[in-house]
Chains A and B, each alone.
Chain A
Amino acid sequence: MSGEPRQGKPRRRKTTKDTGVGLEIRRARTRLRFLAVAGVLGFVALGARLTDLAVLSSTGPVTDRHVASPEDNQTRRADITDRNGRLIATDYPKISVFADPKEVSDPGETASALAEVLPNLDAEKLGQRLSRQNARFVWVKRHISDDQQRKIMRLGLPGVQFRTEYHRVYPQRSLTSHVVGYVGVENQGLAGIERSFEARLTEGYYDGPLQLTLDLGVQAAVRDELKQAVERFQAKGGSGLVMEAGSGVLLAAVSLPDFDPNHYQRADKTARFNRNTQGSYELGSLFKVLTAGMALDSNAVEITDQFDAVKPFKMHRYRIKDFHAKKRRLSMAEVIAFSSNIGAAQMAMAIGTEAQTEYFRRFGLLERHPIRLNEVSRPQRPKVWREINTVTASYGHGIAVSPLQAIDAVASAVCGGPRRPAYLSAEAGMETPLRPAAVRDETAAMLRWLMWLVVAEGSGTNGQVPGYLIGGKTGSADKAGPKGYGDKRLLSSFIGAFPIDDPRYLVLVTLDEPKGDEETHNQAHGGWTAAPTVAKIVSRSGPILGLAPAELAAERWFKDRLLVGEAFNGRLKRTEPSFAAVGDGGWALPSMPSRSGGEECSCGVCLTPG
């Protein structure tokens, strides 16, 4: 076996060496080897690539990040809606244009070409910025239109690129400006809900839209009526609030002048100022409701008591007078109905400083309102609370609070029972603890009767609304100027509760420095200016809220508790009615049939043939 190869080998060698055919075969074998090696190497390379693609270069799971979207670059914000789901704020992608100066061939030419497409662009400044060789990123313009983008692309400028960013849009424009606030160019919240709910709107983007308690229909009615009142009475501004009395749900919050949050930069400080929460005002006679509540609740005064209002009330060097002095003894009902400062001062003296401050604390008037907004002021109160402060505070001077605090305080007084302070979002509102009852239920019932009397027979008759039983209180506070209170500038207000037999909603309107007209006999007091505004708001909002007209039985209950006598005023040589409450009539309301008026109008604009 071993000899055969040895015999064969020399024979093959001999053959190949000796013949030309052998040489050819040898060459062919060499070529074949070469081709085989090349083929093997090729397959090895292919195999390696296959392994690389199949095993090593796995792209992993496809996530949202792989989708080239504006989300890559910017924080997204959740939508904001009203309580019916109507859109108040949303995100929308907009295109921004930027440049890389290193790639820009001719900065001057590029800048002037861009300036032709983009109005308000300073070509010279842009040219200088594009000339900075150490910079790699220069914003040309944020938020351009699709048409402008097309035009820039057609220019074919090297180094000029686009980035899509989310831009906040407010389709309701100035309707909810102060509540919703606005965001900066980087989409960060700067004011209002946008700022105070920043984490919820950004981190909680996937939790869905943030629903506010506002009702855009009611909000529109309040803004429209308030705007008309501000224009008619040439006021510097005004505010309007509508709140669910028991729950603290804010349905409308308007502050005028306002602004369009889509272009907040164009608005001045006055327009951006939220009067409802940032403003601190001496609200004047509005406080008499609270004073009456304190006096009755602390048993310092009975509802059948009378007060001497013949002469001004004197304390130290101060003389407290009435706007429209009756110059006679006034029943407690008349003190509230005719808004007598003299009577209120006497009530305050009966209550005492300690009890008064305790009740103010219960009404939430001595601390910052807990509503979740950044633009909330602290109330202004005397550092040292003297007796004179107790007296002036009884008719709303010497203590300045925001309209939001005032509406909350009156709601606590007329509703009785524990309630939640006003809030704008159910998500945050439920976190606020309930306030314990400020007054007894019986006191609340008597206050409702007193507020009904103000509108039925007293200073707030212009606040009457045909079809609804409304109670309220007027307020006309002298504004403090550099020289004190003497320059006749008023902050006129009116707070209304409806239906007053079982208050479901409260409306507060303030007008800053209104001027009376011929129709108001040149009077600018709350009863002449703010009260009719509230009446119009109630008349428009009631149907939107599905509130049925008043029950006759309810009105009878109020009238049954009123004694009307006759008072002779010798100085004025005329007879005028004198009102007093029935002391032993009982203040518990009989059970009324349900006043539900069917489904609420969710469209926000209830329209019927006019």
Chain B
Amino acid sequence: MLKLGLCGRTIAILAACGVYGLKNRVQELERELVRVERMIEKERIEIKRLNAEWATLSHPERLTRLASTHLGLASATPGQIMAIADIQMRDAPSGEPGPALVSSNASSTASLRQ
């Protein structure tokens, strides 16, 4: 009887310790979860900031101004647009990797070279 009682008490104490440890672990995990969620939220805000910054930096008016000032580019004209199917292809000379492009439209060729 004495042994059984002692054994029971030991098991109860061990179980209590186990539950206590488990509870602690769960609390730690919950804290970790909150920390991770905060981090995600922080990253989300950072992504939003970067997206907004990207949108500001790629504002069409700004790009047009910069491209015109630093690269000497201008808006495309209708003559520079053509369908791929309309471009005449010629056989590549031997030794070259693939067919080269030939266009009857000079401006289109210029555009393609860019």
Contact = CB atoms under 8 A, between A and B. Distances in A.
A468 B38 CA distance: 55
Interface in B16-70: 16, 19-20, 23, 27, 30, 33-34, 37-38, 41, 45, 48-49, 51-56, 58-61, 63-64, 67-68
Given A66-B34, A217-B60, A610 B20 contact: no
Secondary structure class of chain A's binding surface, majority of residues:
mixed
B48 A609 contact: no
B6 interface: no
Interface residues of A, number: 57
B1 interface: no
Nearest to B79: A467
A50 B16 contact: yes
Nearest to B59: A172
B78 A539 contact: yes
A87 B82 contact: no
Contacts of A79: 51
Interface in A582-599: 594-598
B52 A607 contact: no
Contacts of B68: 610
B84 A598 contact: yes
Interface string A50-81: 10011000010010101111010000000100
B110 interface: yes
Nearest to B105: A549
Interface bin, chain B: 35 or more
B74 A610 contact: yes
A312 interface: no
B72 interface: yes
A466 B83 contact: no
Given A50-B16, A90-B52, A467-B77, A171 B60 contact: no
Contact of B52 (A92, A219, A220): A92
B25 to A, nearest CB: 12
B59 A610 contact: no
Contacts of B60: 175, 216-217, 219-221, 604-605
Contacts of B45: 92-93
Contact of B54 (A87, A91, A169): A87
A185 interface: no
30 contacts: A47-B16, A54-B19, A54-B20, A54-B23, A59-B27, A62-B33, A68-B38, A86-B55, A86-B58, A90-B55, A93-B45, A171-B56, A172-B59, A175-B60, A219-B60, A221-B75, A224-B64, A465-B78, A467-B77, A467-B79, A543-B75, A543-B78, A547-B78, A594-B83, A598-B83, A605-B60, A605-B75, A607-B64, A607-B73, A610-B73
Interface of A: 47, 50, 53-54, 59, 62, 64, 66-69, 71, 79, 86-88, 90-93, 169, 171-173, 175, 216-217, 219-221, 224, 465-468, 539-540, 542-544, 546-549, 594-598, 601, 604-610
